[in-house]
Structure formats: structure tokens, C-alpha cells
Structure 1
Amino acid sequence: MEQKFYDAMSDCPVIAAVKNFEGIERCLESDVKIVFILFGNLCNISEIVGRVKEAGKIALVHIDLIEGLSTHEIAVDYIRKNTKADGIISTRMNMINRAKELSFYTVFRIFVLDSRAYQSIEKQKRQIRADFIEILPGVMPKIIQKINKLSSQAVIAGGLITDREDVIDALNAGAISVSTTNQDIWFM
């Protein structure tokens, strides 16, 4: 199942992370193949995902950021039943595990803010069942390299990606892709 995701990243290593309707419309004009949806609510998430899917793009919903959804696994079932999403992004292991059971693509988002956060990844590495790990901020080439060696999941670098150099540095450090809300990068 992951092959479609890998192929899309191979075609375009930039992932559009969108946080509003304007971002959705703008990313649909770009060559990006994968869209991380970082906004929405119970009433409009199906419509948002539908727009992305109609454009032939892979849609992943950051389930933690959808207003009205709980932190319980039933939220993943809701996304599966009520949208055409290809997968989810979450900081919660229970959500990732449920999404795997439902055959979703899964991205486990980790904020690497200090050495404790890095050590936590090391301790949890056997428990992480996600298809991909997204580390934020994504402008830490040395940390990307270390996490790549530590984890069996491919690494996506996200957060604070501001220019072409950041993209190249993250990819050279071993990230398979970068996610960014910076619309200029979507059109590089």
C-alpha cells in the first residue's frame, strides 16, 4: 500500500500542508501529489478531502486538528466512513494504530524540541507502527540523519521549511520528503 505514497513522493518530494481553503485552492494548481490537510471540522472535512481527491492528489487528514473529533479511535473510523481520505496524520499512537487497522496511510508526527523528545523516539521505536514519521521542525539535518538510522519508517521533514535550501538539506539528510505550508515551495 505504501508504494503509491512512495511513488508520489518520488515524483514530487514536496508535500503541501494546507491550513485553510485558500491553501487548498492554491495547492490544487501545483504539481504536488500529496496534501496534508491541517484544518477543518466535522461539517466540512468531507468537502475539503473531496476537493483534493477530485484533483487526483493523495489526501491525508491531520486528525488531531479537525474540530469536533475526539482523541478516541472512533474519530479515525469517522474519517474512513465519511471522507475519501487516503490516510491520517497524528501525534497520538492510538490513532495511528487504529488507522493501520483500517488500511489508511499513516504519518506519526513528532515534535523534536529537545534531547528528551529525541530519547522518547528511541524508546518508542518498536511501538511505532506508522508508515512514515514526520519530524518537526524539519530544518535539522543532523537529527534527520539520526532518526533515519534509528527508525525503520521513512522520515518526512516538516515545519519551518522556508526555501529551496531547506528542502535540499532535508532530502540530503535522508528525509524522503518535506511537508510545508509555504506555498512558494509547492511551486519550486
Structure 2
Amino acid sequence: MDFREKVMAERKIGAAIRRHEDMEEAIRHPRIRTIFLLNGDINKLPSLVNRVNKAGKVFLVHVDLVEGIGKDAAGIHLLKRMGVAGVVTTKSNLVKYAKDEGLLVIQRLFIVDSESLKTGIRVANNVKPSAVEILPATIPTYVVNDTKKALNLPILGGGLLKTKQDVTEALEKGIDFISTSRRDLWEI
């Protein structure tokens, strides 16, 4: 099953979780299928993975932001054993480890100028993640087009989205899927 089917599944919005109460809402939310954990620690992770999986949702962990997970092959292996569907990371070596474990991998690219765009595309081309997430999602259309053309991967967008119009504009630029921590945007 490919990334679009497994993670996106005809949906356009995923829940990015920073607060415990948002996790509870995301698990119960009928429109949310994909949950991205953006903080926390390894001690709480097993019960979260269990609850999210039991709810039939896709759970991805931002391995760079969750405390206590080794930023190495052993840490990625532990996440696989816990039952996460995939990881989000900015680190190329973790992309490789996660792919070796058979996990879905989203490589985050922070686009601040034309050089960071070139570098992000080059790095992602080398490690071949399942998808890339561009931050911020409010970037110019040509950035999305250049990234899609160069990588031929699903493009997620996150960051600096505050309104429904922001989300609509990001999707109209060609971004395939949005990750957001704003509960009001989960309804879109």
C-alpha cells in the first residue's frame, strides 16, 4: 500500500499533536485519520500508539521532537516494535533507518530561501522518503511545483496555516495533504 492510500486515504487534513488534550480529540475526531505526534516522551508512547491503532488511525511520530527516542537505528527499531506506522524527521540518516524497518517516512524540509529548496530536493532525492513535508505551507506555488517535479512524491504542508482560506490556498498550490495543530482546521 502506498503513502497516499495508507496515510492520506482520500483525506486532506491530518492532526499535528503538541498537547495531550489535542490527542484525545484527534483520536475521537471522525474526520481525522492521520495523527502526527510532535512532542512528548518515550514513556507515554506505548499507550498512545495502542490507543491510536485501536481507533483505526495512522500514527506517525516526529522522531526529532519526541524525547527519549535514540536518534539512531535502535530508536527507529523500537518505534517499529511499538507499532507506529511511520516517522517524520529532518535527518537523512533516520530516513534510511526507517525505510530499512519498513516504516513510512516523511522528510521535513524547511524552505527559507532558494538554497534551502535546492538542498532539500537534493537530500530527499538521495534518501527517497515516502513523502516530504514543506514548512511553511504558505510558500510560493513554484516551490511546490519544483519539489513535485524533482521528487515525484506526495507533498505535505505544515506551519503558518491559521484559516480555512490558508488551507485552501495551500491545497490549490498543489500541496497534497496538510498537517495542522489547529483543531478548527481539522473540520475541512
TM over 0.5: yes
SS in 1 for 2:64: helix
Cα distance in 1 for partners of 2:63, 2:6 equals: 24
1:151 aligns with 2:168: no
1:126 corresponds in structure 2 to: 125
Q: TM-score, normalised by structure 1?
A: 0.92
Cα deviation digits, residues 83-139 of structure 1 (max 9, x gap): 221111111111111111111111001111222211202332430310000010011
After superposition, the C-alpha distances for 1:11-63 in whole angstroms (9 at most, x for unaligned) are: 32101000121110111232111111112212111112222112110000111
Relative to structure 1, the CA distance from residue 56 to residue 23 in structure 2 (aligned partners, 3 Å threshold; closer, same or farther) is same
Aligned-residue RMSD, C-alpha: 1.6
Q: CA deviation at 1:70?
A: 2.4
**TM-score normalised according to structure 2 size:** 0.92
Q: Is the 8 A contact 1:15 1:32 kept in 2?
A: yes
Ranges in structure 1 where 5+ consecutive residues have no aligned partner: none
Provide structure 2 residue ranges, at least 5 long, that are not aligned to the other structure.
none
Residue by residue over 1:129-187, the C-alpha shift from the partner in whole angstroms, topping out at 9 and shown as x without a partner, is 10000010011142222211221211101111112112221212111101011111112
Shift of 1:10: 4.2
Contact 1:96 1:106 in 2 (8 A): yes
CA contact (8 A) 1:125 1:150 kept: no
Q: Determine the structure 1 residue equivalent to 2:94.
A: 95
Separation of aligned partners in 1, 2:122 and 2:11: 32
Per-residue deviation, 1:8: 4.9
**d(CA) in 2 for partners of 1:84, 1:73:** 16
Counterpart residue type for residue 102 of structure 1? E
**For residues 115 and 42 of structure 1, what CA distance do their matches in structure 2 show?**
36
Residue in 2 that maps onto 1:135 = 134
